[in-house]
Amino acid sequence: MASVETLPITLSALPSGWSKPAAAAPSAPSKLQVYPAGPSFISAARRQILQRSFAEDDEATAASRAAKANAVKNDGEENLYPGLGEEEESATVLASDPKEWKKQDHYAILGLGGLRYTASDDHIKVAHRRKVLRHHPDKKAGANSGTNDDAFFKCIQKAHETLTNTERRRQFDSVDWNIADDVPNPKTVPADQYCSTFAPIFAREARFSKVQPVPGFGDDNSSKKEVEGFYDFWYNFDSWRSFEWYDKEVNEGSDSRDDKRFTEKKNKSERARRKKEDNVRLRTLVDEVLASDPRIKRIKAEEKAARSAKKGGAATPSKMTPAEKKKAEDAKKAEEAKKAEEEKKAAEASKADREAAKKAKEAARKNLKKWKKSIATVITSSNYFLPEGTAAPPATIEKQLAELDMLVELLEPEQVKDLKEKVDAAGKGEPAKDAIVSAVKSVGDAGQGKFEQFA
Amino acid sequence: MSRPPVLGVNFGQSYASIAVIDKEGHPLCIANEEGERQIACAISYAGEEVYIGNGAKPHLVKNGKNTIMGFRNLLGHTYDEVDHTAILTAPLIPDSKTPAYTVDVLLPPTKAPTPAPRSAAPSGTATPNPGANEPVPSTKTLTVPEVTSLFLSTLLGSATDFLGVKPTQCVISAPTWFTPAQQEALKAAAEDAGMQVLQVLDEAAAVLVGYRVGLSEERKERGLLGQPEEGSAGEEEKRDKRVVVLDMGETSLSVSVVQVSEGEYTVLGRGRDDKLGGREFDDLLLKHFAKEFSKKTKVDLDLPCGENASAVDKRAEAKLRLAVEHTKRSLSASSGAATCAVESLKDGMDLSTAINRLRFDGLASGVYSKIGQKLVSVVESASLDLSQIDEVLLAGSSTLFPGLQSHLALLLPPTTPVTAAIDPSQVIAIGCALTALHLSELEDGLKVDDVLALAKEPVVCTSAPIGLVVPGSEELIKIISAGAPLPVRRRVAIPVEQGASQVGFELWEGKDEVKVEKVEKAPVEKDEDDEDDDYEEEDEEAKTAITVKTKALGGLQVDLKNGGNVILEIIVQRGGDIEARAWEEGRESEADKLA
């Protein structure tokens, strides 16, 4: 807005005979360097960039200022978390006795019964304020109730005091009896419902973790790493759960120091006992869940299969001639393919809907393997394109087979088929190699520099 | 409301300071971890250790070759362009395009020691060579931008520690005379240090922003007005005024004359003396104390010593320089005597002495008058006179001397305040922090780069003042000053005499002039017929800034009904066209417009 400065003069009445001087244009403006700083410069820049005149800019700034003031007003607590702490209290909640604060449900009193340990500090603040507005003793001064009028208010204050102190809140959360802690027997839970049953249970237990976030339970298809990570975490679980809440009150009036010490000692040992119990409980839970986890069984089976496959292939490798080695490899590959096929079949049987697509894919892959095998056979029978009679060095064999693998990967299935046919037609020796080399060339840039034997 | 964490950095040649915005939205100059607000721009490599900031300064005494100082002014220059005769600090190496320093460092041992044998039984191997774990002497080459980044990153670290979060946006100051290439180099170095630089701001502009010059209400509210001997400048600030920013740091003096028009700053002239700085005062004190030392102890010591002085003298100079720093600070801080004590200054003799303000002002009067001359010459080069200056703003630690402040105040008319309401050593950082805040809170979708681009080239400004003339009078009452960036709008209220039913006035273009009046003696220059003046006793000639009318622009006439003030609004558009309206307060719809 334009600021108005008052001039240090006073205008007197016009002298008679005065007429306005003729209007003239002022001198041409000059050009000077301006410092790009200060709010006034920014305002001038705003006017220039947005092509606003002074009057328009005044309007715009006034409007934005008003909008801001409005936004500040609306941003207040009134509109935060609508409905929180505004419900009607049930009779049981209203009947809470402030003297029995250890037994009262602090969350329910503030109307946070639904949120419990997930309630944020803001939730607690807002809910408390709303409750106080409704239940302050001053509001009930004229009402007909008796002397016990501010009992509920006291409960609210106690709940607020407890929940806003991190340590006290944790003590209460540790023993919150309104959170179910029942666990079904893992042995009786069917495998297909296992994850959906235990995921919420572990999510619930996770609230005691000092380390956050806690890894999730995962689902039926979780990888070995995920599952192991999950159980690792729970075997090293660091819990803040504590049991001060159950402490017996030290009798303050008692003068006996021994009495006090005795109670304290008892409380301490009791706390330790409970803590130990809780740790054992959690440990047992994890043990049991781990023992009957269907995912572990699945992973073990997979590993066993992989191991046995490896064993079959890797037996006495040093004593084998290259040809034998090749044979063994082929056999292993065939076995693997067979196994994979069988597994696939089993899976397909259970999931009929995915059948068609999978089958086509599988067929292509199977064929691919077949073709590759036949090409490899040609290579082998050509003595790895080395002169007759010389024994092929293992390095060469390895390289050639590796390059063949790479080539098959780079080519489309149809091209592989073509290649196989060509190689078959060429028979043995150089012509077959030429066919492979031409296929390598057809791959183009993707294979640049990767091939040595078939370059 | 949470504010973005912003940082203002005053990066001087010798000292730097940093400022942030506090919870109330006010700028605050903060101290680093060592508790220093003035952080020395020095880096010292001592063996495996690196000292940055004030901790590096004492290393100048015994480890001068590995101490880097005064690197800011080398930014953006090539080796050939810079003066490489730094005597005490690390030498610049000639074989690189960008200036670079080489320092000796000790690298930590490269190989991890072999693990000790597990059994306690004596093994056949020889005892491990203890030398293997010793650090390896080596040299390290740092270019000036690298040194700058390293230093700025420590400043950023201090600010991060203070704020708790890393400042997202920074404004960093650069001297008035920095070329665009140097500013770019500074920006690049700061960005390497992890700062997001919004703007590289002229130091003079930072001072103006720091004082909120031209924003009368805010300035008054924050108590940033100067205290002139006479006049109203201490209570109320004029909307349009001419201001001189006098920035005197450790090594150089820069003077900028700025036209302030309602918070927009137009440069009228500037000048720099890169030999005149706080170092001058150091040298004076050095000389004084050396003389005193020689007299007391009969040990010959002549400081400041030249390049080919003996090592002993050089050491003595470095030691005394550090001590004098404190003396200087206490001289400007308290009116009592400032002490200076150095143990074993030369030949095992100690120096312990004191100097009071009066003595120091006597020593420094030569420097004071040099500063005054520079001020006068810069103002004159802008074709202005000192009497046309409305305020002098001080910046830089060296302007803290009360003697200097009173010397300047004597030069200027008594109505012109010499303002040091914000600590001159902090004002630049504060201005930078404020600018960072302003730029980080841009509204209406404006972009920082677009806004700053508008001032890259000189902008159109009014070339002559425009004002109001009461019919029949010769006097022009200035409303718009010369040098106000266009478009410009001014609104004034004019009180009206009781009972007047119609008032009118003329709008004129004018010219700023200085009225010189001779008192007692014969006139030297032109003599004007106005006589009355109130400051004549000691002055031989009294100068006042006036505006004379040169060209009529039109007139306005207002009919009065309620006897309220007349409001006059003048807008000069970008092209130079003038629009003016006048109306009685509350009756804007019936305004008389300029034909």
Q: Which residues of B410-441 are buried (b: 16+ CB within 10 A; e: fewer)?
A: ebbbebbbbbbbbbbbbbbbbbbbbbbbbbbe
> Given this model, what pLDDT does residue A279 score?
92
Q: Is A1 on the interface with B (CB under 8 A)?
A: no
CB contact A49 to B (< 8 Å): yes
Spatial distance between the Cα atoms of B533 and B536, rounded to a whole number of angstroms: 7
Asked if residues B231 and B203 have their Cβ atoms less than 8 Å apart, the reply is no
Structure tokens at A340: 């994979």
ipTM of the complex: 0.83
CA–CA dist A420, A434 (Å, integer) = 12
Pairing of strands B391-395, B418-419: parallel
CB contact under 8 A, B209 and A37: yes
Which of the following CATH numbers is that of domain B1-109+135-230+424-451: 3.20.20.70, 3.30.420.40, 3.40.630.150, 3.40.50.300? 3.30.420.40
Decide if A174 contacts A243 (C-beta within 8 A).
yes
B242 DSSP 8-state letter: E
Cross-chain Cβ contact B462/A26 below 8 Å: yes
Q: Please, which residues have CB within 8 angstroms of residue A394's CB and are 6 or more apart in sequence? A: A322, A325
Q: Which of A9, A39, A46 sits opposite B494 (nearest CB)?
A: A9
- Give B586's contacts (C-beta < 8 A, 6+ positions apart): B562, B564
Assess if residue A329 is contained within a domain.
Answer: no
**B451–A42 C-beta distance less than 8 A:** yes
Number of domains in chain A: 4
Q: Is residue A135 part of a domain?
A: yes
- Per CB-CB distance under 8 Å, the chain B contacts of A35 are 202, 204-205, 208, 258, 265-267, 455
Question: DSSP string covering B206-223, please?
Answer: HHHHHHTTT-HHHHHHTT
Q: Closest partner residue to B460 among A29, A39, A64, by Cβ?
A: A29
Strand duo B197-202 + B169-174: pairing: parallel
What kind of fold does domain B234-420 have according to CATH? Nucleotidyltransferase; domain 5 (3.30.420)
- Separation between Cα atoms, residue A369 and residue A361, nearest integer Å: 12
Neighbours of B557 (CB within 10 A): 14
Domain match, A57 and A95 both: no
What pLDDT score does B8 carry? 92
Q: Which of residues 287-306 of A touch B (CB under 8 A)?
A: none
Residues A151 and A98: beta-carbon distance below 8 Å:
yes
The phi and psi torsions of B190 (rounded to 5 degrees) equal -65, -35
Contact B578 A25 (CB under 8 A): yes
Say what percent of chain B tops pLDDT 70.
Answer: 88
Q: What is the pLDDT of residue B527?
A: 47
Q: Does A35 contact B265 at a Cβ distance shorter than 8 Å?
A: yes
CA-based nearest residue to A30, from B205, B258, B578, B464 = B464
Q: How many CB pairs under 8 A join A and B?
A: 233
Cβ contact, residue pair A26, B204, below 8 Å: no
Q: Which of B265, B463, B499 lies at the smallest CB-CB distance from A30?
A: B463
| Tokens, residue B419 | 């303002």
More confident residue, B284 or A25: B284
Which chain B residues are closer than 8 Å to A49 by Cβ?
446, 450-451, 454
Asked if the Cβ–Cβ distance from B555 to A19 is below 8 Å, we say: yes
Whether the Cβ atoms of residue A439 and residue A407 lie closer than 8 Å to each other = yes
Taking the Cβ of residue A48 and every Cβ of chain B, the question of whether any pair is shorter than 8 Å is answered with yes
B534, B517 in Cβ contact below 8 A?
Answer: no
Q: Do A36 and B199 touch (CB under 8 A)?
A: yes
* B379, B245 Cβ separation under 8 angstroms: no
Report the C-alpha gap between A128 and B271 in whole angstroms: 64
Q: How far apart are the first and last CA of chain B?
A: 49
Whether the link from the prior residue into A213 is cis, omega within 30° of 0, is yes
Q: Do A3 and B216 touch (CB under 8 A)?
A: yes
Tokens of A119: 């309630």
Residues A424 and A378 both lie in one domain: yes
Contact B491 A3 (CB under 8 A): yes
Kindly write down the DSSP assignment for every residue of B467-535, as one continuous string.
EEE-TT--B-EEEE-TTPBSSEEEEEEE-B-TT-SEEEEEEEEEEEEEEEEE-SSPPSS---S----S-
Give residue A60's domain range. Answer: 38-74
Q: Which of B503-517, B532-546, B564-578 has the lowest mean pLDDT?
A: B532-546
CA A61 from chain centre, in angstroms, equals: 43
CA torsion through residues B59, B61, B66, B70, sign: positive
Strands B15-21 and B418-419: unpaired
The Cα–Cα gap between B183 and B131 comes to 47
Alpha-carbon span B166 to B159, nearest angstrom: 7
Give the Cα separation of B279 and B277 in Å (integer).
Answer: 5
Strands B592-593 and B578-584: antiparallel
Cα separation, A379 vs A400, whole angstroms: 9
What DSSP string runs through B290-341?
HHHHHHHH-----SS--TTS-HHHHHHHHHHHHHHHHHHHHHHH-SSPEEEE
> What residues pair up with B202 in beta bridges, in sequence order?
B174
In the CATH hierarchy, which fold is given to the domain comprising B466-523+539-593? Answer: Substrate Binding Domain Of DNAk; Chain A, domain 1 (2.60.34)
Q: What is the mean pLDDT of residues B219-234?
A: 77
Nearest-CA neighbor of A37 among B583, B346, B166, B437?
A: B437
In Å, how far is B144's CA from the nearest CA of chain A? Answer: 27
A42 interfaces chain B, CB cutoff of 8 Å: yes
Q: Do domains B1-109+135-230+424-451 and B234-420 have the same CATH topology?
A: yes
Instruction: Please check whether residues A63 and A96 belong to one and the same domain.
Output: no
- Asked if residue A425 is part of any domain, the answer here is yes
pLDDT at A269: 93
- B interface mutation test: which of A34, A40, A49 has the most B CBs within 10 A? A34
Residues B92, B144: Cα–Cα separation, whole Å: 10
Q: Is residue A381 assigned to a domain?
A: yes
Q: Closest Cα to residue B403, out of B363, B354, B376, B375?
A: B363
| Chain B contact probe: residue of A1, A42, A75 with most B CBs at under 10 A | A42
Of A145, A174, A203, the one marking the end of a domain is: A174
Residues A192 and A293 in one domain: yes
Class of residue B584 by CB neighbours under 10 A (exposed 0-12, middle 13-18, buried 19+):
buried
Query: How far is A398 from B507, CA to CA, in rounded Å?
Result: 99
CB B487 within 8 A of CB B571: yes
What backbone phi and psi angles, to 5 degrees, belong to B535? -115, 100
Q: Render each residue's pLDDT in chain A as its tens digit; 455 residues.
A: 567 888 888 877 777 777 777 777 778 888 888 888 888 888 888 888 888 888 888 888 888 888 888 776 666 656 667 777 777 778 888 888 888 888 888 888 888 888 888 888 888 888 898 888 888 888 776 665 555 568 888 889 999 999 999 889 999 999 888 888 788 888 888 888 888 888 888 888 888 888 878 888 888 888 888 888 888 889 988 888 988 888 887 766 667 788 888 888 999 999 999 999 999 999 999 999 888 888 888 888 988 999 998 887 655 445 556 677 777 778 888 888 888 888 877 776 667 667 777 777 778 777 888 888 888 888 887 777 777 667 777 888 888 888 888 887 777 777 777 877 887 777 777 777 787 777 777 776 666 666 777 76
Instruction: Determine which of A19, A35, A53, A56 to mutate to test the interface with B (most B C-beta atoms within 10 Å).
Output: A35
Q: What is the pLDDT of residue B9?
A: 92
Q: What is the DSSP string of B333-344?
A: H-SSPEEEEEEE
What was the pLDDT predicted at B173? Answer: 92
Q: Which pTM value belongs to this model? A: 0.64
The DSSP annotation for B30-44 comes to: E--TTS-SSEE-EEE
Q: How far is CA A225 from CA A214, A215, A352, B410, in A?
A: 15, 12, 29, 82
Going by C-beta distance under 8 Å and a sequence separation of 6 or more, which residues neighbour residue B540?
A: B518, B519, B520, B521
User: Contact, A382 vs A427, CB < 8 A?
Assistant: no
Is residue A164 domain-shared with residue A194, that is, in the same domain? no
Give domain status of residue A335, yes or no.
no
Would you call B463 and A34 a contact, using CB atoms and an 8 Å cutoff? no
Domain boundaries, chain B: 1-109+135-230+424-451, 234-420, 466-523+539-593
pLDDT of residue B280: 85
Tell how strand B502-518 and strand B349-355 pair up.
unpaired
DSSP string, A388-418: TTSPPPHHHHHHHHHHHHHHHHHS-HHHHHH
Model pLDDT, residue A384: 76
Per-residue confidence (pLDDT) for residue B537, from 0 to 100: 46
Residue B181 above 50 pLDDT? Answer: yes
